[in-house]
Amino acid sequence: MISMLAFQPLAGGSGTTTLTVNYASAIATANTGLRVLLLDLNLQFGGVGLHLNLPETLKIVDAYARLGSLDHDGFRACLQKSSDNLSVFTAPAEVLPLDAVNPTHLRHLISLARANSDVLVIDLPLAVTDWSAEIWKRADYLALNGTLDVRSAAGLRRLSDLAGRDLLQSAHCHILLNRVAGRRSSSWQEEYQAFTRPLARKAPKLLPEGGPGVTAALAAGQSLPRFQPQNPLAETILREISLLTFTNPGGAARPAPSGKSA
């Protein structure tokens, strides 16, 4: 049962925010009985709000300034609705230092987010912080997202060195290879072999190139499944979502599974 998903980029610009937003949106659309919450933890240049056409609010800056004492009402006051069952806690409208959030405060923010949702979806920054590893471990579905290039391959190797190969091999960890072209050349196959070598038997999930429609959806401030449901990226995300089992409504009241306490 999945109640927390986290998306970690392997390289900048590889489409992590696009995938995070579209997964969250697809989960909300496919599970109307679940309260889905999208949390943008890019403390400096977070773009989830832009993807969903949500205004910047100073409430988020205030919330981070008093994160340790933020209560449920204060947290809920920061949420913006993207659809009936999708709420968003956007990034601050100002650039915050990466060490503005200490792990204790971050734990508090996550517990507020979990208590106010059934499924929590987190957009993580490229920069590894002193709270990243905790989220990698606690997520029920951890997506490491890159594209087939040397930057993402280097990102995967560095992350594996940092977090340990066990994390990469664990069942909750998924490697997403974004912007895969429909026609794959022999040089693509060679690059793919090189990219997947550190993964042993774990095969990445391939997310297709969605063409200009993906950026057009972003410009329109709409999720891709809503803006262009026939887009190959939207179809692939909807298919992936249909294979996952999410927590039951009211799941926030459930005791947390052992080893992944909230």
Residues near Mg ion (CB under 5 A): 16-17
How do strand 86-89 and strand 80-83 relate by DSSP bridges?
antiparallel
3-state secondary structure of 79: coil
Binder of residue 29, out of ligand ADP, Mg ion, none (CB less than 5 to 8 A by kind): none
Within 174-233, which residues bind ligand ADP (CB under 6 A)? 178-179, 207, 209-211, 214-215, 218, 233
Please state the closest distance from residue 15 (CB atom) to Mg ion, in A: 8
- Distance (Å) of CA 84 to CA 28, 37, 241: 9, 11, 19
Nearest alpha-carbon partner for 9 in 181, 182, 151: 151
Q: Return the number of the residue (165 or 184) whose C-beta is nearest ligand ADP.
A: 184
Assess 155 for contact with ligand ADP (CB under 6 A). Answer: no
Bridge partners of residue 143, in order along the sequence: 7, 174
Cβ-closest position to ligand ADP: 15
Please state the closest distance from residue 16 (CB atom) to ligand ADP, in A: 4
Sequence-distant (≥ 6) Cβ neighbours of residue 215 within 8 angstroms: none
Binder of residue 152, out of Mg ion, ligand ADP, none (CB less than 5 to 8 A by kind): none
CB atoms within 10 A of CB 110: 21
- Judged by CB under 6 A, the number of residues near ligand ADP is 19
Binding site for ligand ADP (CB under 6 A): 9, 12-18, 47, 178-179, 207, 209-211, 214-215, 218, 233
